[in-house]
Amino acid sequence: MTTTPFRLDGRRALVTGGASGIGEQCCRVLTAAGASVIVCDVDAARAEALATELPGASALACDIADEASVAARIAPVPALDILINSAGIGLVGGIEETSLADFHRLFRVNVDGTFLVTRALLPRLVAVRGSIVNIGSVAGLIGVKRRYAYCATKGAIVAMTRQLAVDYPTQIRVNCICPGTVESPFVEGYLEKYHKHEKEETRAQLHARQPIGRMGRPIEIAHMALYLCSAEAEFCNGSVLTIDGGWTAA
Ligand SMILES: NC(=O)c1ccc[n+]([C@@H]2O[C@H](COP(=O)([O-])OP(=O)(O)OC[C@H]3O[C@@H](n4cnc5c(N)ncnc54)[C@H](O)[C@@H]3O)[C@@H](O)[C@H]2O)c1
C-alpha cells in the first residue's frame, strides 16, 4: 500500500504570524494536509477570523516579542509537533539611516520573538521529535540595499537554525526557508509606507529583483514549509533553503 506524501494527519502545529501572508498560507496548507493549526498572531481579530475558517484550528493572540506574554500564552500549549516561526517585521534603511530604537524594535520581534517562542515550545517538540521551520530571508544570506537592520535579524535566524540543529541533532528537526521578495501584505505595507506616490514603478522593480521576473507567492513558500515538516523531509535538518526565483544564484 502506498501512502500519500506530505500528509500531516493528527499533527498539531503552531504558526506565528499566522494571520497574514506567508504564515496565513502555512496555516491553510498545513490544515489541508490534515494538521490542526494554532494561528498565533499579535493581530487577535485576524487570527480569530482565520481560525474560524479552518477546520480544527484555534487562534492564539500573542506578542512574541513580549516574554511575559509568551510565557502566559504560548508556553502552556500542551502538545505540539510542528512550529513555524513566520512572524516578522521589516525596516528600510542603510546603517546611517537606522536609529538604535528601530534596530532594537526589529531585533525584538524577528530575533527575540523567534528565540522566546522556540524556547517555550522546545520541550513539547523534543517529546515527539517535532519539526521547526524558521522563515528567514535572502536578506540573511546576501546584502540587500538599504536593509541594514533587516539583514542583521535574518542573518541571526539562519545562525539560530544551524545552532539548534547542532544541539538537538536527533531530538528535533529545524530548518530555515529563505524567500526572495514575496507578494504579501508585508510588501503592500512597504509600498504604502515608503513609495506611496510611485507604487507601480516600485512594484515592477520588486518583481524584477528576482531573475525569474516576478515576486514569489505566499503559497509557494507554504508548500516548502509543508515539505519540511512532513515525514518525507526526515533527512533534512539544519538546512537553509532559498526560494527566490534565482535571486541568490546570480
Ligand atoms: N514578504 C516578503 O517579501 C518576505 C521575504 C522574505 C522573508 N519574509 C519573512 O516572512 C515572514 C512573514 O512575512 P509576510 O510577508 O507573511 O508578512 P506579513 O506582514 O503579511 O505577516 C506577518 C505577520 O506577523 C505578525 N506579527 C508581527 N509582529 C508580531 C509580533 N510581535 N507577535 C506576533 N505576531 C506578529 C503580523 O501581525 C502579521 O500577521 C517574516 O518573517 C518576513 O520577514 C518575507
Based on the domain organization, do 120 and 198 belong to the same domain? no
Based on the domain organization, do 37 and 56 belong to the same domain? yes
Number of domains in the chain: 2
Residue 176: the pLDDT is 99
Domain extent, residue 210, equals: 182-215
Is the separation of the CB atoms in 111 and 137 below 8 Å? no
Based on the domain organization, do 62 and 84 belong to the same domain? yes
Q: Is the CB of 190 under 6 A from ligand 1?
A: no
Based on the domain organization, do 144 and 169 belong to the same domain? yes
Does 248 fall in a domain?
no
Q: Residue 93 in 3-state DSSP? A: strand
Does 57 fall in a domain?
yes
Q: Is the CB of 43 under 6 A from ligand 1?
A: yes
Helices (H) and strands (E) counted in the chain, each on its own, are: 9, 7
Nearest-CA residue for ligand 1 atom 44 is: 182
Based on the domain organization, do 156 and 173 belong to the same domain? yes
Based on the domain organization, do 203 and 160 belong to the same domain? no
The residue whose CB lies within 8 Å of the most ligand 1 atoms, and thus the one to mutate among 22, 70, 108, is 22
Q: Which residue has the cell 496555516?
A: 27
What is the phi-psi region of residue 238: left when phi exceeds 0, alpha when psi lies from -120 to 50, beta otherwise? Answer: left
Q: What is the pLDDT of residues 47-88, one digit of tens each?
A: 999 999 999 999 999 999 999 999 999 999 999 999 999 999
Based on the domain organization, do 136 and 192 belong to the same domain? no
Active site residue 190: no
* pTM, full prediction: 0.98
Based on the domain organization, do 38 and 132 belong to the same domain? yes
